[in-house]
Amino acid sequence: MENEKLSDVSNILDCINEAFLYLNDKFLIKYSNKATEKILKKSSNEILNHSFFDIFQNTNDTIFENKFNYVLSEKKFTCFETYYTPHNKWYEVRIYPFNSGLIIFFQNISERKKSEEIIQLQLQELEAKTAEMERFIYTVSHDLKSPLITIKGFIGFLQEDIESQNQELIKKDFERIKKAADNMYNLLEDLLELSRIGRVINNKVFFSLNDLLKEIIDLFQIQLQQKRIKLIINNELPQIYADKNRIKEVFQNLIENSIKFMGNNTAPEIEIGFKEYEKFYEFFVRDNGIGIKPEYHTKIFGLFNKICKSSEGTGLGLALVKRIIEIHNGRVWVESKGNNDGTTIFFTLPKRI
């Protein structure tokens, strides 16, 4: 097939949107349609009788050469996908044997590839959420059993103590049952709060972090004074665009944790600061308390993961922090060596969400 043999169908080939080429056995382009000229932004004179590899520069030459040789030798059709850097596009390439040469179609599949990538990301997100839900259900069922078992056990003791008329033990039984019930209530409240994040959306606004921190510090003033903790705020914190109530929860949880796990430091300090980058702010809350061993750095952001079992709270504080920051398209992590070396919690927030 030479140009003359294609003359009868050239008008049809010029009407299709796919690039069409005919190559001889030396990979010289002997025919190209209008779509090819449009894609390459070259005239037919600039394309014809030139090597395919001279015209389509920056292709994966090895793959194309192997495919061409395969079709020529085996006389079989082949199809593959390739990314063409100069166009920033994906193409499906179909190669057919014809006489002693090759017929090639290039179809732009960039939109399809984008759709496939979106679907793949959605599947990955669905798998991650499913796995998270499974862990959530397991953890909730496990941790809610504990106060129930406590309540059930002390009801049995209560019955015995009522029969023996031991008022002191009866009072202790009621206190333990109440404590277990309160613990279950707090667990359920924190779970409810965790479930709200991402569903209950407050309007995002510009607000001053300095003003917000003044409100938070007032809440902890008594604890800070009792433990003689020096609170340091580095520089003037920026204004940010975010859900103010949720960001308040983040700082409250982080400051409360620093106070709670300060240990017996004789010069306790909590430091709050930030760094500014092109597209985001990086904030930190640093203390010189007991620290967190590296093996717990990931676990502390999980549900009910209390490193110190005797401490107050449900163990959901950092899980709430993580969820809030992720909803704001940021990330959160911890740096600490443990061994009374202190803890620094970092988190990022985009400058505009």
The predicted structure's pLDDT at residue 307: 53
Domain boundaries, the chain: 3-108, 116-196, 203-353
pLDDT, mean of residues 266-271: 90
Q: How confident is the model at residue 348 (pLDDT cuts 50, 70, 90)?
A: very high
- In the chain, the percentage of residues whose pLDDT exceeds 70 is 83
> What phi, psi does 285 have (nearest 5°)?
-125, 115
Whether the predicted pLDDT of 15 surpasses 90 = no
Contact between residue 223 and residue 188 where contact means Cβ atoms under 8 Å apart: no
**Structure pTM?**
0.52
121-130, 265-274, 311-320, 328-337: which has the minimum mean pLDDT? 311-320
The predicted structure's pLDDT at residue 23: 93
Q: How confident is the model at residue 203 (pLDDT cuts 50, 70, 90)?
A: confident
The predicted structure's pLDDT at residue 1: 46
pLDDT, mean of residues 8-25: 82
Contact between residue 102 and residue 52 where contact means Cβ atoms under 8 Å apart: no
The predicted structure's pLDDT at residue 132: 65
Of 187 and 27, which is predicted with more confidence? 27
Angle, helix 167-196 to helix 110-164, in steps of 10 degrees: 170
The span from the CA of 246 to the CA of 263, in Å, is 28
Q: Which helix (H) or strand (E) holds 306?
A: none
Whether the predicted pLDDT of 306 surpasses 60 = no
| Class level of CATH domain 3-108 | alpha beta
Of 48 and 135, which is predicted with more confidence? 48
pLDDT, mean of residues 254-274: 89
CA dist 117 → 31, 46, 110, 123 (Å): 35, 36, 10, 10
Cβ within 8 Å of residue 97, ≥6 positions away: 71, 72, 75, 76, 77, 103
Q: How confident is the model at residue 287 (pLDDT cuts 50, 70, 90)?
A: very high
Per-residue pLDDT reduced to its tens digit, 174-186: 888 887 787 777 6
Of 339 and 20, which is predicted with more confidence? 20
Whether the predicted pLDDT of 237 surpasses 70 = yes
Per-residue pLDDT reduced to its tens digit, 310-346: 445 455 778 888 888 988 899 999 999 877 888 999 9
| Class level of CATH domain 203-353 | alpha beta
Give the CATH number of domain 116-196: 1.10.287.130
pLDDT, mean of residues 97-114: 90
Q: What is the mean pLDDT of the chain?
A: 82
Q: CA 127: distance to chain centroid?
A: 13
Per-residue pLDDT reduced to its tens digit, 218-231: 888 888 888 899 99
164 burial (CB, 10 Å; 0-12 / 13-18 / 19+) is exposed
pLDDT, mean of residues 106-119: 90
The predicted structure's pLDDT at residue 159: 85
Greatest CA span in the chain, whole angstroms?
A: 113
12-26, 33-47, 141-155, 222-236: which has the minimum mean pLDDT? 141-155
